[in-house]
A and B are shown apart, each in its own frame.
Chain A
Amino acid sequence: MNETAAPPDAAEAPVERRDVPVEKLLPSLEAVLFSSPRPVREKDLGDLLEATTKSVARALEALAEKTDQSERGVRLEKVAGGWRFVTRPEFDALLRKFHEVTERSRLSLAALETLAIIAYRQPITLPEIQDIRGVNSSSVLKTLFEKKLITTAGKKPVVGTPFFYRTTQDFLVRFGLNDLAELPRPEDLDADLAATVEAREIAPLTAQETAIHISSEEALDEEPGPEAEPPGAED
């Protein structure tokens, strides 16, 4: 799903791209990202500002560092193949109070279980999900659908041609992943039986460890995965 805010005709006309110095690029990048609710891809920023991807990436790193270092309420995050501004977690209570929000919608245990199966095994069909969970999962699937965390991905060419399901861009954003390769792996999912039994003894990731995982986004990112490519980009 193309949820990154791309300029309408970005893909049509090839833009003249120049190397732009960081200090010149940074304020305009900040303005664009400030105005966008969804992650904006580096390529789209480059198209918009007529700058090379390299200089955009440099400026973004500088901006991220700047917002990360100082005592700021907002930070830049790289997620779902793009960049966006989000508030820092410590201001959650404050923002809730200001916006008079009590609780945000939580995902049930069953929903998270199903989502995990889809995330790791995609594309996957409903019967396959139910085989793993040992329980009817169609209503859970509907919930995930309504939350736009999963979508269909064609049909499996078997009897009954069931739908294939996969995770969406919204899934990546919600769980702070740049692409699917970043899915947390508490253990190797394809490990053999013995190794898995041993792995059982290790406690699951604590919230703190997870936090470390999330904030370790400064690592240089490669090309966005196929998941991040907007449809029709090749056209």
Chain B
Amino acid sequence: MPDETTQSSLPPVAIAAFSGPLDLLLHLIRINEVSITDIPISEITEQYTAYLDAMRELDLDVASEYVAMAAELIYIKSKMLLPRVPGAPEEDPRADLAQRLLEYEKFKRSAETLHAIDTLRGGLWPRPETEIPRAEGSEQTLEVALFDLIQTFRTVTENYRLAHPPALAIHHLRFSVRDKMLELLARLDEKRTMPLLEFLGQMRYRAEAVTAFLACLELIRLGVVRAFQTRPFAEIHATRTDVVFSADQIRDTYSE
């Protein structure tokens, strides 16, 4: 896309609040004074994407629908560039978009009519709603819409929640070096050698991991476990040494 044309063909219009990609397209069609059913797709696509760029520059959120429309315009443009298969029925790639634009425009104009009426009627003041005390026993029936019921239910549950704050339960997690030593020893008795991280990585809490690490250090200090690397910076493995040390000894030596 040539940049100069983009800049010069971008009409000097403030980035108004368009209500959607179709609204922006209609706006471009109007200022270019072209027909909906015969959109100069190349020009319009260029201007459209220039608008999106301008929006981005102004840090406006470009909703995904706008981007999708840009993609659609480019797709139509590419389709129009392709030679038609001889004998294939003549089909305007823009027809679908034109149909949608026409439909949308109808409602946009209806909205303008509604706006005019609303502005005019906004100046009419009816008697304001007032609570009229009714005779005892006379039941006033109102039709309740589903959403009124949902709203009421929400209010009730919200009020209940506010009135009954849940009790704050703090679970104090305790981990013991003793348990972790037993755990590591059991794993090493089974596997002989294992990466240390495999063991430590299984811990779910920070305190638990620290405890497990201390347990490792303790076992290494006792010479029950040996830590080694095959080369610098390689994975650290833990392996069981020949030092005799039973689970019972751990239980006897270390308190909980």
Chain A residues close to B by CB (< 8 Å): 1-2, 8, 34-38, 77, 84-92, 95, 104, 106-107, 109-110, 112-113, 115-117, 119-120, 132-136, 145, 151-152, 174-176, 184, 186-187, 189, 193, 196-197, 200, 204-207, 210-211, 213-214, 230-231
Whether the pair B143, A175 counts as a contact (CB closer than 8 A) is: no
Are A8 and B127 CB-contacts (below 8 A) given A134-B65, A204-B113, A205-B113? no
Whether the pair B100, A134 counts as a contact (CB closer than 8 A) is: yes
Are A37 and B126 CB-contacts (below 8 A) given A89-B120, A197-B102? yes
Whether the pair B121, A1 counts as a contact (CB closer than 8 A) is: no
* Cα–Cα distance between A35 and B126 once the two chains are bound (Å): 11
Binding site of B, secondary structure by majority: helix, strand, loop or mixed?
Answer: helix
Residues in chain B near residue A119, CB distance under 8 A = 110, 114
Whether the pair A151, B122 counts as a contact (CB closer than 8 A) is: no
**Which has the most chain A C-beta neighbours within 10 Å: B99, B102, B140?**
B102
For A204, give its contact among B20, B107, B109, B127 (CB under 8 Å).
B109
* Cα–Cα distance between A87 and B124 once the two chains are bound (Å): 5
Q: Could you pull out 12 A-B pairs where Cβ atoms are within 8 angstroms?
A: A1-B145, A92-B124, A113-B19, A113-B107, A132-B104, A134-B22, A187-B109, A193-B99, A204-B112, A204-B116, A205-B112, A210-B117
Whether the pair B126, A117 counts as a contact (CB closer than 8 A) is: no
Chain B: how many interface residues by the 8 Å CB criterion?
51
How far in angstroms is the closest Cβ of chain A from B142?
A: 7
For B21, give its contact among A77, A107, A134, A184 (CB under 8 Å).
A134
How far in angstroms is the closest Cβ of chain A from B221?
A: 63
Q: Which residue of B lies closest to A190 (CB)?
A: B106
**Does B96 count as interface, using CB distance less than 8 angstroms?**
no
* Cα–Cα distance between A25 and B65 once the two chains are bound (Å): 59
Whether the pair A132, B103 counts as a contact (CB closer than 8 A) is: yes
Whether the pair B123, A210 counts as a contact (CB closer than 8 A) is: no
* Cα–Cα distance between A187 and B118 once the two chains are bound (Å): 19
* Further 18 A-B residue pairs, CB within 8 A, beyond A92-B124, A204-B116: A8-B138, A36-B127, A37-B130, A86-B126, A104-B122, A120-B107, A133-B20, A134-B20, A136-B65, A151-B145, A151-B147, A193-B99, A197-B37, A197-B102, A204-B109, A204-B112, A205-B116, A210-B116
Residues in chain B near residue A200, CB distance under 8 A = 36, 105
How far in angstroms is the closest Cβ of chain A from B124?
A: 4
For B119, give its contact among A8, A84, A207 (CB under 8 Å).
A207
Q: Which residues of B21-76 have CB atoms within 8 Å of chain A's CB atoms? A: 21-22, 35-37, 63, 65, 69
Residues in chain A near residue B112, CB distance under 8 A = 112, 204-205
* Cα–Cα distance between A34 and B126 once the two chains are bound (Å): 10
**Does B108 count as interface, using CB distance less than 8 angstroms?**
yes
For A87, give its contact among B65, B114, B116, B125 (CB under 8 Å).
B125
Residues in chain B near residue A110, CB distance under 8 A = 19-20
Mark interface residues in B126-156 (1 if CB within 8 Å of A CB, else 0). 1111100000001111110111000000000
Residues in chain B near residue A84, CB distance under 8 A = 126-127
For B120, give its contact among A151, A197, A210 (CB under 8 Å).
A210
**Does B115 count as interface, using CB distance less than 8 angstroms?**
yes
**Does B162 count as interface, using CB distance less than 8 angstroms?**
no
Residues in chain B near residue A214, CB distance under 8 A = 117, 120-121
Whether the pair A92, B123 counts as a contact (CB closer than 8 A) is: yes
Residues in chain B near residue A211, CB distance under 8 A = 120
Are A120 and B110 CB-contacts (below 8 A) given A8-B141, A134-B20, A135-B20? yes
**Does B244 count as interface, using CB distance less than 8 angstroms?**
no
Q: Which residue of A lies closest to B144 (CB)?
A: A1
Whether the pair A86, B147 counts as a contact (CB closer than 8 A) is: no
